[in-house]
Structure 1
Amino acid sequence: MNYTRIIKYVIRSKNLNSVFERLDPYDKEIKEYFAKYLEKNEKELGEFSKKELKILKKTRSYVYRLDYSAKCFCCEMRFGWSAIIGMIPVIGDIINLYLSMRIIKIYMKTEISKTIIIQMYINIFIAFSMGLIPIIGDMLFAYYKCNIRNYIMFEKTLKERKKIH
C-alpha cells in the first residue's frame, strides 16, 4: 500500500469523514456504537453477570475519555486524552501504551479467550507504532482509537459467550 497516495488523497479531499470511512470501515462501526451508547439502558446490559457489568461500565467511561471525549473545532473528528498525551514525543506514546495495557488487564479478569486478548494487543501495538511517527503518526493515532476498538471487541465477545450458554 502506497502511504503517500493515501496522504495526498486525504489532504486533497474536502469531506474528511467520507475519506476516513472508505479507508477504515471500522470507523463507521465506532460512530454507530457511540450513537447507541448514548441511548443504552440497563435492560440491554442486564444479560451480563455483576462482575462483567461492573467491568463494562468502568471501562466504557474510561475508554470514552481516552479516545472520544473531545471534538475538533475545525472538523467533525473526535479525539480523547490519549491523543493529547500522545503529542509528547516518545514518553506520551509509552504512557498511552501503559494506559491501554491497563485496560486489557481489567478485561482479562473475565477470562476471555487468548485470541481476543492477542487481537487487543495487536491493536495496541499498531497504535503505539503509529504514535512513534512524528506529527502524521499522532494524527493517525488520534484517528485509530485502539481502546474503543478493544472495548467493542470485548463487549461483542461477552455477548457471544452469553448466546452460546
Structure 2
Amino acid sequence: MPDGSRSHLPPEDILREDDVARAAELDRLEWLARRMDMAFRLPGTGIRIGWDSIIGLIPGVGDVAAVGPAAYIIYRAHLMGVPRSTLARMGVNVGIDWAIGSVPLLGDVFDVGFKANCRNIDLLRKTLNLPQGKPVTPAM
C-alpha cells in the first residue's frame, strides 16, 4: 500500500508497539541482570559470577548495595504492567538472595549459584509472553 500501512499483513505478523517497547525494555533489563549475575567466567571452570557476587564480598555493605539493581529490575517490571503475583515472586527471589547472601562465606557461595536477577528476568519473559532465545539462568 502506498500510504505505508501494514494492514495488508496478517495480524499474527504484526508486533504491537507496546510489545516492541516491552521487548526492548526487557533486553535492557536482561543486560543489567547478566552483569550482576554472570559477567565473568572463573578460569578453568564453567562457573559464571557477576558483580553481585563480587560486591557481596564486602562485609556489611556489599549485599545491601547489590539490592539496588535488583530493586530497579522489579520497579521496571511494575512499570511494564507485570501482575502483583509475579512482582511478589521477584521480590522473594531478591529477599532470599539478600538474606542468605548476608551470611559470611556461605552467602558468598550461595550468591554464585542462585542468580536472583537472572531468575527474575526469566519470570518477566514468561509473564510478558515475549519470544525467548535461550534462558538467562543456566541449567544446574
TM range (shorter): 0.7 to 0.9
Structure with greater helix share of residues: 1
Normalising by structure 1, what TM-score? 0.66
Question: How far apart, in 2, do the equivalents of 1:148 and 1:47 lie?
Answer: 25
Residue in structure 2 matched with residue 154 of structure 1 by the alignment: 124
Quickly say closer, same or farther: Cα 1:55–1:73, change in 2 above 3 A: same
* Structure 1 residue 50: Cα displacement: 2.8
| Structure 2 residue runs without a partner (length 5+) | 1-12, 131-140
* Structure 1 residue 51: Cα displacement: 2.2
Normalising by structure 2, what TM-score? 0.77
**Number of paired residues?**
117
Residue in structure 2 matched with residue 143 of structure 1 by the alignment: 113
Matched AA of 2:61? I
Question: How far apart, in 1, do the equivalents of 2:103 and 2:40 lie?
Answer: 22
Quickly say closer, same or farther: Cα 1:147–1:153, change in 2 above 3 A: same
| Structure 1 residue runs without a partner (length 5+) | 1-42, 161-165
- Structure showing greater Rg: 2
Residue in structure 2 matched with residue 127 of structure 1 by the alignment: 97
Residue in structure 1 matched with residue 6 of structure 2 by the alignment: none
Q: Which moved more, 1:117-126 or 1:151-160?
A: 151-160
CA deviation map 1:108-141 (0-9, x unaligned): 1111110000000000000001111101211111
